[in-house]
Amino acid sequence: MRLDDLLYSQGFGTRRVCAGLIEQGFIKGFEQFAGIKPALSATEIIVSEGMEFFVQGKRWQYHERAYLMLHKPAGYECSHRPGAWPSAYSLLPAPLRQRPTKSVVQGVQAVGRLDQDTTGLLLLTDDGQFLHKMSSPKHHVPKVYQITTDREIEPKQIEKLLSGVVLNDDPKPVKAAAAVQTGEKTLDMTLLEGKYHQVKRMIAAVGNHVVALHRSRIASLDLTGLESGQWRWLSTEELQTLK
C-alpha cells in the first residue's frame, strides 16, 4: 500500500493533505524510507493490522476496518449532526470521524443509538456488514440495560416485561429476554432487539417511568476499565466472539 493511501484510509485527510503531512516530516515510524525523494508519499508500505506509527507526534494504530467501543456520558447525541447537545462522535479522535466510507456519511457509525440522557456502552464501526449484523433483530444480539425508575418496581411489572407489552407503533408484543430486579427502584433488563426509545416505552407500558438508563453490556462486551467518555479498539478476540 502507498504511504499516502495508508494515511488516507485511516482518516487523516485527502490524499493531497496526507502527501503534505509526509513530505513535511509529520509522519514517523517509517524511518527506513526517510530520504527517498521525490515521491516519498508514493512509497510502498507493507501494512499489518495493529501496526503503529506517529502522526504529528501522536501514536496511531493501523486498522483496515474500525471496531471500537465508547463509554458514552449523558448529555451527548449519537449523531454526526447534533441539535441541542454535543455529538458523541466528538469524543473520538478526528481520524475516526473522517475515515472514508462507501456511504454518504464519513467516519465510524454507532451500532444502535443511545438517547442524549442515556449512558453506557456504544459500539462504533465503519464496517457496514458488521453494523447491520449487530443491529438487526434477526441476529438476537443481547443488550443489557440498568434501569432506575421513579416509583417502586412491582413483581407484576416484571412479569409483564417478560411476557410482553404492546407499544403504540407495533401491534406485536415486545418482551424482555430477561428482567431482574436489583433494588426497590432498579432492575437489569436484557433486550434482543432495539426499537425507538424501547426501554423507556416498555417501562411506561407497565405503569412506571425511567429516570436513569445505562447500557452495561452488548453480547460479551462490558465497560470494565473504561471510564465515562473514554473509548478503545476492540481486541481481536472480542471481535471474533462478536462475529
pLDDT for the residue 33: 52
pLDDT for the residue 236: 92
Residues 22, 38: Cα–Cα separation, whole Å: 11
Sheet harboring 27-28: ordered strands across? 27-28, 52-55, 58-61
Angle (CA) 218 85 150, round 5°: 60
The residue whose grid cell reads 474500525 is: 66
Q: What is the pLDDT along the chain (243 residues), one digit of tens a residue?
A: 889 999 999 999 999 999 999 989 898 887 655 444 445 677 788 889 999 999 999 999 999 999 999 999 999 999 998 888 999 999 999 999 999 987 777 899 999 899 999 999 999 999 999 998 888 877 889 999 999 999 999 999 999 999 999 988 777 899 999 999 999 999 999 999 888 899 999 999 999 999 999 999 999 999 999 999 999 999 999 999 988
pLDDT for the residue 92: 97
Local structure of 32: helix, strand or coil: helix
pLDDT for the residue 31: 63
The 3-state secondary structure of 122-160 reads EEEECCHHHHHHHHCHHHCCCEEEEEEECCCCCHHHHHH
Residues 144, 79: Cα–Cα separation, whole Å: 22
Identical fold for domains 67-137+224-242 and 142-218, yes or no, is yes
pLDDT for the residue 227: 97
The answer to whether the beta carbons of residues 124 and 109 sit under 8 Å apart is: yes
User: Which sequence spans correspond to the domains of the chain?
Assistant: 3-61, 67-137+224-242, 142-218
pLDDT for the residue 174: 93
The answer to whether the beta carbons of residues 112 and 135 sit under 8 Å apart is: yes
Give Cα 139 to chain centroid, integer Å: 18
Confirm or reject CATH 3.90.226.10 for domain 142-218, answering yes or no.
no
Active site residues: 115
CATH of domain 67-137+224-242: 3.30.70.580
